[in-house]
Amino acid sequence: MNETQTRALLRAMFDAAIDAASPATCLRPFLHILQPPKGRTIVVGAGKAAAAMAQAIETQWPHPVSGLVVTRYGHGADLKRIELVEAAHPVPDAAGREAAARILKAVQGLGTDDLVIALISGGGSALLALPAPGLTLEDKQAVNRALLKSGAPISAMNVVRKHLSAIKGGRLAATAAPACLVAYAISDVPGDDLSIIASGPTVPDPSSYADALAILKRYGIDPPPSVSRHLQDGAAGKIAETPKPGDAAFARAATEIVATPMKSLQAAAELARAQGYEVEILGDAIEGEAREVATQHARLALAAKARGRKLAIVSGGETTVTVRGQGRGGRNCEYLLALALALDGAENIWAVAGDTDGIDGSEDNAGAIVTPHTLSRGRKRMLDPQALLDGNDSYRLFQTLDYLIVTGPTRTNVNDFRAILIEP
C-alpha cells in the first residue's frame, strides 16, 4: 500500500477501536435483560462516557428513570430525563464537587424496592470531586496536579484519590444500600480492575490509607498539610477505612463491564487481517514511561521487518509521562515521537496512537500518526525532534506536519490504542 492508503488504514483501525466501545452498542445486551423495580429507578454516573451511557438508558430502557450524571466539559449529549452536568478533567473543579455531592444525596434514603443504575467510565475519578470531611477542593486539586506530573500509573493515583474522597472507593454503593445497585462500567484501566475504574465508587476497595501514604512518598509528592494529616489519621485508625471486600454494603450491588480495551483491540485487528497483515496483540494493559514503551515497540517492529513479515503490532493500556519540559503533547504523541526517533526513518513502518476518548492529555487531538518520513519532514521544517521530545513538546511536530488525529470527544473511553504496521 502507498502512504495514503496506509494512513487511511491506521485511521480506520483507530475508529474501529472507538466504535467497539460505543455506549449505544455495548450497553444494549445488558439493558435488554434488566428488569424494572417495584420502586424508583435512580440513574447516576460519572466519566467521559457518562452522557452517552445515560442517553442509551433513555433510548433503550423503556421504564421511568430520573437522576444525574457528570461528564467532562464538551462530552455531553442530549438528555431528556436524566440531568447532565459538565465539569473539569483531569484536575477537578467546583462543578464536579457539586455534582458529586448531589449524586451522593440522590442515592440516600432509598429502600429495598428501589434500583440505582450507576454508569461508570474513565475520567470519573476526577469528575466525582467530593472531598472527604476536613479536606477542600483545593487540597484535591493540588494532589491531582502533582500525581499527573509524577509518572505514577493510574492504579497508584486512584488509591490516593479514593482515600481523599467521600464518594469513591465503594462509598457510593454504601450510601445507596439497601437499594439494589447495578453498575455498568466501561473499562479504561489495565486489567479491567473495577476498583480502579473511576476509583471504584460501587465496588469494595482493597487498598488502605497506608498504601496512599506510601504512594505519595514513592513519587516524591509533598501534599498539603491537611492531606498529610488526613491520611495519617486514616492509617492510625482514627478515620473509617473505605468499605472492604465482604462488607454488607455490597450485598445487593453488582457491577458489569460492558466494554473493554481488549474488545477494541480485537475490532481493530480484524481490519488489519483483512488487508493481509499478520497481527500480534501485545496486550491491553501496557504501562510505563511512554518513551520507554516506544523504544521497546520499535525494536519489535525493526525485528519483524528484518524477518520480512507483513505485521500489525497492536497494543493498549495507559503509559505515563514524567513532565520535565514546558511543551505541549499528551502521552500518545510522546510515545509516537519517541517511536519515530527509535525507528530512525526505517522504510515501510507506520504507526498510530491515540486516546479513545478523543483527547490526548489536555490537547485538542486524540493522537497522531508516524510515517517513515516523520523525522526528515520535521527537520525540513527546522524542527529538532530530539529536542522536542526532551521538552515534552511532541504536539508541535505532529501539528506542523499535519499528522494529528482529531476526532473531538468520542463519549467513550477504553484507554489508549496503538498500532504499528510493518511491510517487507
Percent of the chain with pLDDT over 90: 94
Edge-first strand listing for the sheet containing 278-286:
278-286, 311-317, 416-422, 349-355, 367-370, 404-405
Residue 318 binned pLDDT confidence (cut-offs 50, 70, 90): confident
Which residues touch 247 (CB under 8 Å, ≥6 apart)? 170, 174, 204
The verdict on domain 23-130+165-207+242-259 having CATH code 3.40.50.10180 is yes
Handedness of CA 53, 26, 361, 170 (dihedral sign): positive
pLDDT value of residue 323: 86
pLDDT tens-place string over residues 375-424: 999 999 999 999 999 999 999 999 999 999 999 999 999 999 999 999 99
Fold classified for 3-17+262-422: glycerate kinase, domain 1 (3.40.1480)
Cβ(91)–Cβ(126) under 8 Å? yes
pLDDT value of residue 228: 97
Whether the pLDDT of residue 362 is over 80: the answer is no
Domain ranges of the chain: 3-17+262-422, 23-130+165-207+242-259
Residue 1 binned pLDDT confidence (cut-offs 50, 70, 90): confident
Fold match, 3-17+262-422 / 23-130+165-207+242-259: no
pLDDT tens-place string over residues 154-170: 899 999 999 999 999 99
Question: Which burial class, exposed, middle or buried, applies to 5 when counting CB atoms under 10 A from its CB (0-12, 13-18, 19+)?
Answer: exposed
Termini Cα distance of the chain: 11
pLDDT value of residue 85: 98
Question: Which burial class, exposed, middle or buried, applies to 271 when counting CB atoms under 10 A from its CB (0-12, 13-18, 19+)?
Answer: buried
Percent of the chain with pLDDT over 70: 100
**Which three three-digit cell numbers place residue 357?**
476518548
